[in-house]
Amino acid sequence: MFTFTDNSFIEAGVVILILIPSIIVHEVSHGFVANRLGDPTARNAGRLTLNPLPHIDPFGSLLLPGMLALAGAPIFGWAKPVPVQPGHFSNPTQHMAITALAGPASNVVLAAILARLVYPSLSGIPEEIVLWFIFLNLLLAVFNMLPIPPLDGSRLLPLVLPERGREIYQQFEQFGFLILFALLFLFDGSLDFMSDWAINLLDFLIV
């Protein structure tokens, strides 16, 4: 893995500065697509903005990612979720899946733009910072595609589950955060594959 400093505090700060805009783009993309599909909830709440203030969660966007970066643990964080009301959709199951996919897709697109347009013509920007920006966006995309509530990947399973399966899965949603924290902090190395996938995607993009 690449590094840009031996100072863990500086590195943690840079990681947070990269994560904040990346997570905001992710959340705004959810709201934008939901609005296009007929749900104006995020727009009416003033969440279709790149201004970080309406989106930042002090713990999930700042404190937790910083602590994880300092500890050398898998980086995990979130912004305030953009509100979505599936009742506004003409096809709630399908449109929720499309809305969910918009978040990871936005991070992949952002990473691709940086890899294809910014990285080849670096001028005054440290190479390692750009690589970290690309890597963290790809990591966000991979992480959010895990089929564990409330991550975006969990919104895809109802597309293939029968009605009874959807009901059981909805009951399982309340334990999603507990499962995520267990994977992150109790089962060491269980999510290492995410970094591997993100690095493989990064290598593909910058070829």
Q: CB under 8 Å, gap of 24 or more: what pairs does 17-20 form?
A: 18/129, 18/132, 18/133, 18/136, 19/61, 19/65, 19/75, 19/77, 19/136, 19/140, 20/52, 20/56, 20/61, 20/62, 20/79
pLDDT at 193 over 80: yes
Q: How confident is the model at residue 73 (pLDDT cuts 50, 70, 90)?
A: low
Return the domain boundaries, the chain.
8-205
**pLDDT digit string, tens, across residues 85-138:** 999 999 999 999 999 999 999 999 999 999 998 888 877 678 888 899 999 999
Q: What 3-state class would DSSP assign to 90? A: coil
Burial (CB < 10 A; 0-12, 13-18, 19+), residue 204, is exposed
**What's the 3-state SS for 35-77?**
HHCCCCHHHHCCCCCCCCCCCCCHHHHHHHHHHHHHHCCCCCC
For residue 72 the two structure tokens come to 């050398």
| Whether the predicted pLDDT of 76 surpasses 90 | no
The pLDDT, as a whole number, for residue 134 is 95
Among 62-66, 75-79, 94-98, 130-134, the minimum mean pLDDT is found in 75-79
Respond yes or no: is residue 127 known to be catalytic. Answer: no
Query: What is the model's pLDDT at position 165?
Result: 82
Type of residue numbered 131: L
Determine the pLDDT at residue 2.
Answer: 56
pLDDT tens digits, one per residue of 131-190? 999 999 999 999 999 988 889 999 998 888 888 888 888 888 888 888 888 887 778 778
Residue 4 has pLDDT above 60, yes or no: no
For range 49-67, the mean pLDDT? 84
What pLDDT, on a 0 to 100 scale, did the predictor assign at position 43? 96
Tell me what pLDDT residue 12 has. Answer: 73
Most confident of 30-39, 67-76, 128-137: 30-39
Record the pTM: 0.87
Q: Among the options 11, 27, 128, 173, which is catalytic?
A: 27
